[in-house]
Amino acid sequence: MVSMQPMRGSNPERWLEQVREGMKVVDASGEDIGRVDYVQMGDPEAVTTQGEGFTMRGAIVAGPGSATGAPAASGSGPVIAAPIWPMDDSTGPDVPEPIRARLIHDGYFRVDGPFLFGKDRYVQADVIAGVRGDTVMLRVNKDALPVKGEGFEE
């Protein structure tokens, strides 16, 4: 394993611009933590994500009748079936604040965890140590990365 030191004082967005979907991701210990499945460049204007909560992208609207195809009762209107939820991170990463705001501000990519039950993790641009070939190398271990859907109070 070739070791790379992070480029102090460099622009982390430079590394993020080289990251592409499907690239292998290894942490600082050299462990394969999965493949890139979503990349989002930073938005320096995003000081906060307040008021930018999850929004529904749309719904399937069936004509008169029910979602099961049964005949409509007289005078009934359209039936709204299950919503279509976005499958990407276009509404932001699935982590609690203030981590979410920082990821959006600085830029990030999501790593699809290895194997069937691997955890999806978010990688902020400033923890990228380098990009070589089809591999993204990080300067932190996987345990330092936010995990998709974890960390919310119940």
**In the chain, where are the structural domains located?**
12-47+88-144
Q: Which of 133, 143, 120, 103 shows the shortest CA–CA distance to 12?
A: 103
- What's the CA gap between 130 and 79, in Å, rounded? 51
Q: What is the pLDDT of residues 101-153, one digit of tens each?
A: 999 999 999 999 987 788 999 999 999 999 999 999 999 999 999 999 998 65
pLDDT at 76 (0 to 100): 52
d(CA 114, CA 111): 9
22-71 per-position pLDDT tens digit? 999 999 999 999 999 999 999 888 655 454 443 333 333 344 444 444 45
* Distance in angstroms (rounded) separating the CA atoms of residues 122 and 137: 14
pLDDT, residue 30, reads 97
Mean pLDDT, residues 13-22: 93
Instruction: Note the pLDDT of residue 61.
Output: 39
Instruction: Check if CATH label 1.10.3720.10 holds for domain 12-47+88-144.
Output: no
